[in-house]
Structure 1
Amino acid sequence: MTDAERELHQIAVVMSEQGGRLVDYLVDSFRTLIPELPSDLVLVEMLEGSTGSNLEMLAHVFRGHVPIVEVQAPAAAVEYARRLAQRGTPPSALLRAYRLGQQLVLRWTGEQLALRQTPPAVALATSQLLMEVSFQYIDRVSESVMGAYQDERERWLANRSAVQREMVETLLRDDHVDLVAAEAAIGYRLRQQHVALILWAEAGDVGMANGERLVARIAQKIGSTTRPLYVPRDRQTAWCWLAVNRPGDVDQAAIEESLRGNDGVYVAVGSPESGAPGFRATHLGALAAYRVATLGQRQQPVISYGDQEVRAAAMLVHDLPSARRMVARTLGGLAEPNRGAARMRETLLAFIQDRESYVATAARLHLHKNTVKYRVDRALEARGKPLQTERLDLELALIGCAWLGPELLA
């Protein structure tokens, strides 16, 4: 045994003797410097158990009782990692605790070498040995506990999602449920005003963690102060509910800003509603907007049921065969599925919505007034009927074509 190994053996003896005080010192440091770690009594006791078991194992390694290649993460440390996963504590907090623990233990061992008045050459060799062994220990144990964390997090989320999905589907069926039990099951308060979102990816995987972060960012942007309810439906779709503080339409621009940098991800928004009945109603609105978006031709990141055109298109989606017949009968030759007819339909719809003002329509579409008049005249000619004939059906058909395009022109 070398002089450095003998010094390391003696430091391990002192570590075992002072284990209680050292655990207190480390746990206090963790709680002060890593605020993400849970602070309730049960989790603090588990942190103490994890820290103590790691120190005990490390002392055995220092004394040569356990070869470093045979080190396994202590059971208490693994269980603490699993509990953090269940609580949703960021994994970075757990990893920081191990790195901080290594730093503090190395500082403590340096103080012990100074107290023992170890000769400089031996102290240097011992410090190098301590550094090498501690890094090997942290690498092995942290890899093991992080693996346990990830496995537990996936299992916990799968179980939680299953419970949430079952209760959410019960609520959406409008079955009679106990509100207190339902709120406990889904982790979300029903007796408030909320707005539903449907989040989906055009291609690829939304990813649960990424989707939850995105919805949390949307909640922050629109002023929601409580945790959203996020329920994955499949790899590409999730249903969400956010608490809102006031009635009225949600700020669509704020949601669009939240989506920046997430190309290929889209959001359908319901109208704000209150209470458990509103939980269902706002989702039905979001679902209707989602159907319009996925059936239609507009590639915009956010679609809102608060938009009256979206509501009109959503009604047509419920009976597409009848809607197609109405479009063909009402538009006549204007129902051709080509770019020229699409431009005329767009101009005619804007003209109707701007109260038949050529000037206002030109301003809206960034066209010359004469161009607007030419397109309107050609549109009516293609239709084969005057503007006032079946005026309501005409506007509804034009709105449907604007949002659903080929689905109505087939």
Structure 2
Amino acid sequence: MGGEAVEPELGVPVLERIITVMSVYIDRVSQQVVEVYERERERWLAHQSSVRAVRVQEILAGNERPDAGASAALNYVLHQNHLAAIIWVPDTGSGDMLARIESATHDVAGFMGAMTDPLFVAADRVTGWVWVPLGTRAAPRRGYGELRDFLEARHPGLVMAVGGVTNGPEGFRQSYTRAQRARALAIAAGKNAPVVTAYDEPGVSTVALLIEDVASTRAWVRSVLRGLAADNENAARLRETVQVYLASNLSNVAAAKQIDLHYNSVKYRVKRAAEERGEDFTGDRLAVELALLVCQWLGPVVVTPDQAKGRADGQRSGWAVRVGSVTVRGGSSGSLTASSRAM
């Protein structure tokens, strides 16, 4: 203050003003430092993610012989047991969901018994590739049924395909490939698919192969099941009963216990199903079981459209215009008919 003493009554206000100015200055500088740090951190993370994605792609393509350097670059040990998975959001209009998917990845990894942090790679804005490190553990800590309940409860809206436990660098690729096949099946199945589709669950790997040629699979299913492949509730109920009946080694009693029906009801349904098909199920049982499994997963994709339902839909979607004494009607297929009325 130029060597001059501050008036006593001004001392406290001046000191408060100095503190206020210094605080504002420090806050402003600190905010600028934080913003610069966050930008640099995001740039570094983006670079690290890009590097990780490139290394993973090289390993999956078999163009790189994984070694200690690859593990260090990924911060993930390749020489161990892996459980590869794909987590995604079915609703493609959900925007960027990667932060949510990555959070779910860590939750799922911990739930399944990961030994360290999982490896996460963003495939796109709604899909993430995941490898859960299991060390020497031959199986996850929890089953897929528990995983479905966990994912639905903790992360509703996300779905998951799992490739099964494999070992080493080759297993790293193999489990991922299986997870991709399970995902393709889940997408083809649509609403029929569970929240978690696991490649190593019964029937999944088989149906996953069959969807590579959906048209041929559809034709084969319809030729095996014939009338039993109709797309209506009655046929669906009969298919379900026959599937349990065949899995119960043709026992009406055992099947009845599983689906909570009287065994005579099971017997009747099996008879009706055989009539719809045109023959019983003993001659080509394996083909029938496989066709029923495909129907269970793919449903409307492979079954035969119900003719009565189609006619009703066509009538509802039709239109009619009267011009003088002539009425022109249009159907859902684009056909036109005309009729005249006597004057």
Partners of 1:193 and 1:278 within 8 A in 2: yes
Q: What is the CA–CA distance in structure 2 between the aligned matches of 1:256 and 1:141, rounded to whole Å?
A: 48
| CA shift for structure 1 position 254 | 4.0
Task: Give the distance between the partners of 1:299 and 1:138, measured in 2 at CA.
Answer: 56
Q: 2:277 is matched with which residue?
A: 383
Residue matched to 2:102 = 212
Summarize deviations over 1:222-250 as a string: whole Å, max 9, x none: 11121111001111111110111421365
- Aligned AA for 2:100? N
Change (3 A) 1:351 1:143: farther
Change (3 A) 1:357 1:187: same
TM-score by length of structure 2 reads 0.78
**Structure 1 pair 152/344, CA: closer, same or farther in 2 (3 Å)?**
farther
Aligned twin of 1:231 = 121
Q: Which residue of 2 aligns with 1:274?
A: 167
Matched, 1:252 2:170: no
For the 8 Å contact 1:192–1:274, the answer to whether it is kept is yes
Distance in 1 of aligned mates of 2:154 and 2:22:
41
Change (3 A) 1:121 1:222: farther
1:167 partnered with 2:59: no
Give 1:328's match in structure 2, choosing from 192, 198, 222: 222
Q: 1:123-272, aligned counterparts within 5 Å?
A: 123=12, 126-127=15-16, 130=19, 132-133=20-21, 135-203=23-91, 204-205=94-95, 207-244=97-134, 245-248=136-139, 251-259=143-151, 260-272=153-165
> Where does the alignment leave 5 or more consecutive residues of structure 1 unmatched?
8-118
Which TM-score applies when normalising by structure 1? 0.66
- In the alignment, the residues of structure 2 paired with residue 144 and residue 120 of structure 1 have an alpha-carbon distance, to the nearest angstrom, of 37
Q: Output the CA distance in 1 between the equivalents of 2:66 and 2:171.
A: 16
CA separation of 1:390 and 1:183: change in aligned 2, threshold 3 A: same
1:124–1:301 distance in 2 versus 1, CA, 3 Å: farther
- Describe the SS at the equivalent of 1:308: coil
Q: What CA distance in whole angstroms lies between the structure 1 residues aligned with 2:204 and 2:71?
A: 31
Per the alignment, do residues 363 and 146 of structure 1 end up closer, same or farther by CA in structure 2, a change over 3 Å counting?
farther
| Matched-pair contact (CA < 8 Å) for 2:106–2:118 | yes
- Distance, in Å, in 1 between the alignment partners of 2:96 and 2:161 is 15
Query: In structure 2, which of residues 162, 181, 187 is the aligned counterpart of residue 294 of structure 1?
Result: 187
Residue 283 of structure 1 is matched in structure 2 by 176
Instruction: Show the counterpart of 1:40.
Output: none
Q: Is the 8 A contact 2:66 2:78 kept in 1?
A: no
Residue number among 206, 224, 244 corresponding to 1:350 in the alignment: 244
Distance 1:267 1:275 in 2: 23
CA RMSD of aligned residues (A): 2.8
Query: Does the 8 A contact of 1:228 with 1:240 survive in 2?
Result: yes
What is the CA–CA distance in structure 2 between the aligned matches of 1:271 and 1:199, rounded to whole Å? 14
- The alpha carbon displacement at 1:194 in A equals 0.6
Q: Encode CA deviations 1:130-168: one digit per residue, 9 max, x unaligned.
A: 2x3455235423432343344334323332222222221
2:15 counterpart letter in structure 1? T
Count of aligned pairs between the two proteins: 297
Amino acid at match of 1:383: R
- Residues 236 and 126 from structure 1, CA distance in 2 versus in 1: closer, same or farther, beyond 3 angstroms? same
Which segments of 5 or more consecutive residues in structure 2 lack a partner in the other structure?
Answer: 305-343
What secondary structure, in the 3-state scheme, does the structure 1 residue paired with 2:203 have?
A: helix
Sort the Cα spacing of 1:124 and 1:314 in 2 relative to 1 into closer, same or farther, 3 A.
Answer: same
Q: Which has the higher strand share?
A: 2
When residues 299 and 319 of structure 1 are mapped into structure 2, their CA distance, relative to the original with a 3 A threshold, is closer
Take 1:402 and 1:158, find their aligned partners in 2: how far apart are those partners? 42
> CA offset at residue 329 of structure 1?
1.3
Asked if 1 retains the 8 angstrom alpha-carbon contact of 2:87 and 2:159, the reply is yes
Q: 1:144 to 1:239 in 2, by over 3 A?
A: same
Please state if 1:337 is matched with 2:231. yes
| Equivalent residue, structure 1, for 2:200 | 306
